[in-house]
Structure 1
Amino acid sequence: MNVQWEGVMPAVTTKFTEQDTLDLDMFLKNIKAQIGAGVSGIILGGTLGEASTLEENEKEVLVKSTVEEVSGKIPVIMNIAEQSTRGALKAVRNAEKYGANGLMVLPPMRYKANATETVTYFSEIAKSTSLPIMIYNNPVDYGIEVSLPMFEELINFSNIQAVKESTRDITNITRLRNRFGERLSILCGVDTLALESLLAGADGWVAGLVCAFPRETVSIYKWAKEGKHKEVLDLYRWFMPLLELDINPQLVQNIKMAEVATGLGTENVRAPRLPLQGGERKRVQEIIDAAMACRPVL
């Protein structure tokens, strides 16, 4: 499948039962809602997907189940976040075997690689596969920035096609566009900067709160691209308190609480994560309740 790196691509949560097994019924209910809202792809195994706690057989089930559910309508993208090049190459082979259509690749985990090491890491992955790749550039959370000179080397690989832009610097979108034109697709990776990024020329949005609010998220993307400024600003301002739940260490718990409110998930997380408790739970629930009380009719 030829992946079009544009539109809204949800980084979906992984659904668990109370017995800590995969909850495929709820997972596929959510995937159906994403497809129905008009998303452009599904991203599995990211931070929101609690990938670091998943067993390999669970990743296989999630990819295969999603591929079957989307039935070729949209691409299924597997996240690659490993500690070693060797581990990443194995994860890529598995993603191919399970039927993924593309990859989102993080820099090496834990070890803070320098520029040469990081470029070499991405290059080895690109050489190992024909799958299209989106590089996840998030120096805030992962401590490694993929700079413009590094991208200059990486675009020698035709399957490195996109960047998930999470530097928190909106002007980096313009720098990327000025340097590389349309060679790299640019997708915003920070929910609270989505509209600003789209107006600055981003091609799409790798979204988090879309897991609970797919129609609202897709509407923001479409209205921004259609120039419906008043409509999109009104919707974005309503959405912002919810979007801020994504830029928080407990983003998984936050978004799963929002999924409960919209009937698209449960609060079950995998330890060491635990559902929110006490004052923080009350704060998050109040944000969700306030948003639901005046949820726009689309």
Structure 2
Amino acid sequence: MKNISWIGIYPALLTPFTENDEIDYPLFQINLDAQIEAGVDGIIIGGSLGEASTITAEEKREFLKYCVKTLEGKKTPVIINVAEQSTKVAIAMALEAEELGADGIMLLPPLKYKADDDEVVTYFKAVAAATKLPILIYNNPVDYGIRVTLAMFEELLPYANVQAVKESTRDLANITNMLNKFGDRFKILGGVDTISLESLMLGSHGLVAGLVDAFPRETVAMYKLVKAKRYDEAVAIYRWFMPLLELDIHPKLVQYIKLAATAEGIGSEHVRAPRLPLKGAERERVLKIINDAIANRVALPDYKNL
């Protein structure tokens, strides 16, 4: 089994496109370089922010191969999203990810069908039994309608490769409940940008972040400051960050965060249909939030040496 710490910052990376609707690998590399330079601890590709709903299986395959090759020899694990309708297809994707060199998978409950608790756990167990890859369970009942409960995690205890959870229930008590019941058996990564600092303060081991796609240094710095117990400095970054972080909890989070990455010179506004680029008053409103934050950027300490 591959080794992932599940500690630190794991950006849910954007999938940049060219004007011709192809994956823009040179631009992706610019963003990836910014993430690595900032000090992220791993990357997640093909998730919601990566426009998983519209990239093809072949594109996802080539994207994974590109990331594995690019990060070969570096200590930055590549995690790929597995979000499928059927157990059979999810297992096939997990096995293919393993074959292509992925370091781990982020596993969603079955999509489209609102499975009950037993069905979801059976699905997770089947995928976990089929692959040696470490697994990050995505617990997001707000967007996907299925909550992975403490009892369900208890059933997953025998599966050593089920190692972590992207905690997006938006119920901060769930972090404490998970820690009280399981200790460090399941690493907890906060998955909602607008409660990221609270998640870290309550004991989450890191973050699966969204606005990190545009502002990697600020994201990593905030995390490092919390771990160094320099809370006032972490709060200062968080307060500056909040108008931007709120872009992560909107249905158009892809367009909003791509606009932010564009403003930072590490992304573009191109999205894949049926998504459309922002325009008119909406684009101006979001761009003002982004530009105001950039104009009043908070000073960062030498966070890499804390």
Instruction: State if a TM-score over 0.5 links the two structures.
Output: yes
Partner of residue 173, structure 1:
175
Partner of residue 57, structure 1:
58
Matched, 1:41 2:42: yes
**Do the aligned residues in 2 keep the contact of 1:35 with 1:70 (CA within 8 Å)?**
no
Partner of residue 240, structure 2:
238
- 2 CA distance for matches of 1:94 and 1:55? 15
Q: What is the letter of the counterpart of residue 124 of structure 1?
A: A
Partner of residue 271, structure 1:
273
**Do the aligned residues in 1 keep the contact of 2:236 with 2:298 (CA within 8 Å)?**
no
**How much has 1:278 moved relative to structure 2?**
2.1
Matched, 1:283 2:282: no
Instruction: Decide which of 217, 220, 237 is 1:218's aligned counterpart.
Output: 220
Q: Structure 1 residues 76-85 or 55-64, which shifts more?
A: 55-64
Q: What is the letter of the counterpart of residue 190 of structure 1?
A: V
TM-score by length of 1: 0.98
- 2 CA distance for matches of 1:222 and 1:170? 20
Identity %: 57
Matched, 1:74 2:76: yes
Structure 2, gaps ≥5 residues long = 301-306
- 2 CA distance for matches of 1:259 and 1:163? 26
Matched, 1:117 2:119: yes
Q: What is the letter of the counterpart of residue 207 of structure 2?
A: W
Q: What is the letter of the counterpart of residue 26 of structure 2?
A: D
Listed as ranges, the matches of 1:1-298 within 5 Å are 1-71=2-72, 72-298=74-300
TM-score by length of 2: 0.96
- 2 CA distance for matches of 1:105 and 1:167? 15
**How much has 1:55 moved relative to structure 2?**
1.4
Query: Deviation above 2 Å: which 4+ runs of structure 1?
Result: none
Structure 1, gaps ≥5 residues long = none
- 1 CA distance for matches of 2:263 and 2:286? 12
**How much has 1:60 moved relative to structure 2?**
1.6
The C-alpha deviation readout for 1:118-148, integer Å capped at 9, x for no partner, is: 0000000000000000100000000000000
**How much has 1:70 moved relative to structure 2?**
1.9
**Do the aligned residues in 2 keep the contact of 1:162 with 1:187 (CA within 8 Å)?**
yes
**How much has 1:150 moved relative to structure 2?**
0.5
Provide the secondary structure at the position in 2 that maps to 1:150.
helix
Provide the secondary structure at the position in 1 that maps to 2:53.
helix
Q: What is the letter of the counterpart of residue 67 of structure 1?
A: V
Q: What is the letter of the counterpart of residue 115 of structure 2?
A: A
**How much has 1:263 moved relative to structure 2?**
0.5
**How much has 1:267 moved relative to structure 2?**
0.3
Q: What is the letter of the counterpart of residue 74 of structure 1?
A: T
**Do the aligned residues in 2 keep the contact of 1:28 with 1:66 (CA within 8 Å)?**
no
- 2 CA distance for matches of 1:229 and 1:75? 28
The C-alpha deviation readout for 1:137-180, integer Å capped at 9, x for no partner, is: 00000000000000000111000000110000111000000000
Q: What is the letter of the counterpart of residue 123 of structure 1?
A: K
- 2 CA distance for matches of 1:236 and 1:297? 12
The C-alpha deviation readout for 1:41-75, integer Å capped at 9, x for no partner, is: 00001000001111122112211111122223210
